Structure 1
């Protein structure tokens, strides 16, 4: 069960025949990403009861918004009637309630410690509501709630249930339930959500809504520290400023990168090899920027832009290590937009703070997110991971000019065959401030040394014929293009088909079998396969190289193997990576493109490259997968299967021209390998034949 539609729900719950917490609250909150609740009374005891259902929501990075009326005493009402400030009296009542927490049992204090962590991490926000009347003040006594999942499904409810221990455990209570995906319930569900938003933003007539008192928040965090749910020296998460953990020691090149970025006015690009700590370097820069802004009393909005969901999770995890819990803006907008709007509104109140959003490229370009960027009321920091992805005409047109601070990260910021996009990125983010390549990273100990084994695979007779036919057509198209003909689209299609002939060369499978056999008992192996299916003279064979590789590794050699593709859902992928990292389960992961970018596999140490595109970024990313440092990892192996053209004298010059890129990749891999001499010797005959010793 991963969403609210999978929860078995009744239309109503009543104490005479239901345990409302067990039957309704817990099943819904286990799959929720947001819980909005407006209730009549708020007491310390209620906090302990609410905590029963929020651990799963916390693990999902979800958020809770709670509006409640303070537990006023007769003397409080009298003070209001005598003209005391409504806010002051309400805050006093809340603080009084906090003092009674110490009377709770140890078990309930542990639950409050959990909620304190939610508050400390920015996942729980509380507001206080009072009704202003002609006689002074009245009690806000409405009871509504909305539970939302990651897909935007909502369960709204209303009834007599208060957020108090007595209501949950002792009183006779009932609620009515409405599901957004049921046609009969949709209108009432939507109305309850709209009513809550009006309450939260202070748009409900006759009601005064206040932020939770800072002193009460500190009291709860103090309990969280005492009960061991928050570190002994907690940072203020509401402020959200990242702080470099004491456990992380920056390398000299990382310190220099941060200094260069600050000296450049908070703009620039870090070009750092995969695995050299781009994320930590960027967050260290954010730490230093925050220190400077706090001195002048300025808040900040930091937007981390990433291309993939996996990277959004990785960045959020790393941010937590720096003491910040970001809002992830991804998938269904209902799961994040209200929280972002509230957080932006809160930036203009109180002490300077930093709001951190982690957004995928897909969400970044939406009208909803762009509108939120326009609402930012303070300096803006755009931090783009894999910044080359933002160089397309559409993406770069939406990069906000109002961003005062900008930082781009990439191992390869140059966009392949797109000089205009590359130049636009430099104009927006600034100059490259650090260039840390493979050779330097290995020598500094930031990456693992590696050996490179090129395996030459000749084309069979049919493949050689198809390769030659396509090469001839490419030659004709180049000639027409030189004469001014518009053949670019067709030329691209034929070049791709010709590259697929090399990538899918049938001889690569028996060669893979031989290489896997040499390492049959070793874990942590990756196989990169060609996309699509094998080209033939008649069209395509329908045979996928991925399936063949899995059959060889798993069925024939009995090595525990699993595909890692777009066909696996996100949970399955996480489970696969965890099993792979254990070293005792899956030994081989086979993929086409899904292991190129955004997957952290530091334990991987053997890569079989059955195919790679001519885009340098792809093979550099793939090499980077196996060069990351890991405990017990001394060296990595890269086995590269290189299909050899037929060597036609008739087509020599054209073949030489087209094959040059393939050899550039091979020489790049060999150049920094521990066994450089051996690797280059394997390629010598091929380089001499095509007169490419200059590569």
Structure 2
């Protein structure tokens, strides 16, 4: 079919010598008018996918309707299996055909059928020819990544261009792109334009050194022709055009970028600069609630940009302790423009996606590969085998990094990670100097620290009041407490230490039983009842309950769980809307509960047991009741951080802390009890020190401090 001359030739257009996204509209300023005036179009682009091909067809619809003819050269998308088969000596053409069929049969193809049918019609009518290019050098196969194009009109005028854009919506409109343009009728430009055209013609004829250019496989051509027959009248509306502003298909792998409207805070910028200043290694010790997640993503964006300038991909691995935190990270990474692979549960769910994305990155087809793994899956044999094969720049971000200092996990930290970032409000492991040292050895030193006081002062966290409640043990609890304290004294006399908290340690077992008595003290519930009455009209309340059930003497039936007692108190006796949030709560239900809680008109109180300690984002929480008796600084710092996060309309928070103590006059070893209470009061002192009502806190705790000579705390 002979091309129909355009009413306007290329020479009549006002074409600039360069188009760059920050100054000009590459699509509307260059591509659209050039296609409207051209009769032939030669184009060599980066990669061939079903998405890019369908969008390409939409982009040249009007050009083709006028009888325009096009030659297209693209690189096939080969995965790891394809490359391995080529290395084994299998026929390259057959493998390329297999790869193309895989693309045309992709799961998302249903949304692309009209576009692919149009491609088939263009091929059948002789308006479109496609060839495939790949690097073949020293027995290795690589991606053809050049991007050039040539327009000619009916009178023979020529425009050639080179640049970064692919022939798709994402390449032309969504990304930041630039093209250099050479007008064939201008001195100087004409020589360059002819040279680019000759380069293309040599490619088309397979006369370029170290490159192979082969015809489009018949089996793939037949598949497209069949699609053309199945969709003979498929129409592409103007708003779906690849050059238009609206399209329901995302082209190619994404790039990391800061979401629109999200600003980098000054302290986050300082943290990133400090980390980069240590060559991309170090620990960010930032108070819970100050935005460690976003700080890490900002740093990843910066690193990805630097690597892209070197034409290197970034492999991003985020490790988090629990599945619900992985889900939160996945949503966060997606908001920055890249869809990560969630690595947990069975490897059948994630292995193929990980392998394919890494293969695409190795071929230059994917600028960022992102994976988010639970600690357990990260340390598993199959994922460790994947990590060991990575040869591209690898950034490991460890969320709640203190968990990876355990002997079970620290051996799994990948030695081939060029860049390493640890995130934790408390990177020091409790009574585990060896694990703490291992974290520093791997990630590097603390390069940036943002304490709670500084975070409150700068407005990153909200101000708060701290309300300690001293609760005496009952007679039965007091007797159990005295017996346990005597056994602890006997362990200390044998040379054991209060710092020995291992699960199989005799003194560790006794300390946990003692903590359970304090955590489950009956007297806490009446005090909680009174406080809930005070705040009964307040939304966004959290109750942190003690773990397990109330301790009893050996042989007696187990006591009730504190969670069940609190739920009965809030729901039945006070008539307030509440729900438990515990380890048995399914993940889907957890998400629904957090949505209901944040609405501010449905669920007034969440009753938790441990599950809100690490990473869960509930910034709306205004009041927190601490029934659990924890002397572990990580746990109580995490809980305080949950309550101090900023939220719209939230300027202040309340923390109510229930501290159980033995009855006055109880016969106890003074020094031992003083040592044990020191650990309890360190938490209260830490909470009170930064509270707005510090003087009130001192007054409430003074009798206990005076009794045990702890006024220095």
By the TM > 0.5 criterion, same fold?
yes
| Alpha-carbon distance in 1 for matches of 2:129, 2:246 | 36
Query: How far apart are residue 241 of structure 1 and its match?
Result: 3.6
Q: Does 1:226 align with 2:240?
A: no
Secondary structure of 1:357's match?
strand
Q: Does 1:652 align with 2:670?
A: yes
Query: How far apart are residue 47 of structure 1 and its match?
Result: 7.3
The answer (yes or no) to whether the contact 1:121–1:237 under 8 Å persists in 2 is no
The 3 A distance-change label for structure 1 pair 135 and 492 is: closer
Q: Does 1:511 align with 2:527?
A: yes
Structure 1 counterpart of 2:486, from 472, 487, 493: 472
| Alpha-carbon distance in 2 for matches of 1:222, 1:667 | 64
| Alpha-carbon distance in 1 for matches of 2:225, 2:529 | 66
Structure 2 counterpart of 1:139, from 219, 227, 243: 219
| Alpha-carbon distance in 2 for matches of 1:428, 1:163 | 56
| Alpha-carbon distance in 1 for matches of 2:478, 2:380 | 47
The answer (yes or no) to whether the contact 1:116–1:220 under 8 Å persists in 2 is no
RMSD: 4.0
| Alpha-carbon distance in 2 for matches of 1:584, 1:609 | 24
The 3 A distance-change label for structure 1 pair 584 and 282 is: same
Q: Does 1:576 align with 2:656?
A: no
Query: How far apart are residue 598 of structure 1 and its match?
Result: 2.1
Q: Does 1:567 align with 2:581?
A: no
| Alpha-carbon distance in 2 for matches of 1:224, 1:304 | 35
Query: How far apart are residue 505 of structure 1 and its match?
Result: 0.4
Query: How far apart are residue 245 of structure 1 and its match?
Result: 3.1
Q: Does 1:542 align with 2:575?
A: no
Number of the residue aligned with 1:389: 403
Query: How far apart are residue 412 of structure 1 and its match?
Result: 0.5
Q: Does 1:641 align with 2:655?
A: no
The answer (yes or no) to whether the contact 1:524–1:580 under 8 Å persists in 2 is yes
The 3 A distance-change label for structure 1 pair 285 and 514 is: same
Query: How far apart are residue 649 of structure 1 and its match?
Result: 4.3
| Alpha-carbon distance in 2 for matches of 1:630, 1:487 | 39
Structure 1 counterpart of 2:612, from 591, 595, 614: 595
Number of the residue aligned with 1:310: 324
Secondary structure of 1:455's match?
strand
Number of the residue aligned with 1:669: 687
| Alpha-carbon distance in 1 for matches of 2:494, 2:532 | 45
| Alpha-carbon distance in 1 for matches of 2:408, 2:222 | 47
Deviates more, 1:644-653 or 1:594-603: 644-653
Query: How far apart are residue 294 of structure 1 and its match?
Result: 2.0
Deviation per residue, 1:360-391 (Å, 9 max, x gap):
11210111111111221311111111110100
Number of the residue aligned with 2:621: 604
The 3 A distance-change label for structure 1 pair 222 and 385 is: farther
Deviation per residue, 1:177-211 (Å, 9 max, x gap):
xxxxxxxxxxxxxxxxxxxxxxxxxxxxxxxxxxx
Number of the residue aligned with 2:27: none
The answer (yes or no) to whether the contact 2:120–2:221 under 8 Å persists in 1 is no
| Alpha-carbon distance in 2 for matches of 1:117, 1:360 | 32
The answer (yes or no) to whether the contact 2:485–2:668 under 8 Å persists in 1 is no
| Alpha-carbon distance in 2 for matches of 1:221, 1:329 | 35
Structure 1 counterpart of 2:510, from 486, 490, 494: 494
Q: Does 1:323 align with 2:337?
A: yes
Secondary structure of 2:495's match?
helix
Q: Does 1:619 align with 2:636?
A: yes
Query: How far apart are residue 417 of structure 1 and its match?
Result: 0.8
| Alpha-carbon distance in 2 for matches of 1:330, 1:342 | 17
Number of the residue aligned with 1:158: none
The answer (yes or no) to whether the contact 1:38–1:142 under 8 Å persists in 2 is no
The answer (yes or no) to whether the contact 1:524–1:583 under 8 Å persists in 2 is yes
The 3 A distance-change label for structure 1 pair 631 and 470 is: same
Query: How far apart are residue 142 of structure 1 and its match?
Result: 11
5+ unaligned residues in a row in structure 1: which ranges?
A: 1-36, 53-65, 92-114, 123-133, 144-160, 171-218
Number of the residue aligned with 2:455: 441
Structure 2 counterpart of 1:528, from 527, 544, 557: 544
Query: How far apart are residue 541 of structure 1 and its match?
Result: 3.1
| Alpha-carbon distance in 1 for matches of 2:685, 2:269 | 32
Query: How far apart are residue 549 of structure 1 and its match?
Result: 0.5
Query: How far apart are residue 251 of structure 1 and its match?
Result: 2.1
The 3 A distance-change label for structure 1 pair 278 and 491 is: same
The answer (yes or no) to whether the contact 1:270–1:434 under 8 Å persists in 2 is yes
The answer (yes or no) to whether the contact 2:462–2:653 under 8 Å persists in 1 is yes
| Alpha-carbon distance in 2 for matches of 1:420, 1:624 | 26
Number of the residue aligned with 1:111: none
Q: Does 1:260 align with 2:274?
A: yes
| Alpha-carbon distance in 2 for matches of 1:568, 1:118 | 44
Count of residues paired in the alignment: 538
What is the TM-score when the length of structure 2 is the normalising length?
Answer: 0.68
Query: How far apart are residue 537 of structure 1 and its match?
Result: 2.6
Number of the residue aligned with 1:288: 302
| Alpha-carbon distance in 2 for matches of 1:488, 1:566 | 23
| Alpha-carbon distance in 2 for matches of 1:119, 1:411 | 42
Query: How far apart are residue 162 of structure 1 and its match?
Result: 11
| Alpha-carbon distance in 1 for matches of 2:623, 2:425 | 21
Number of the residue aligned with 1:558: 575
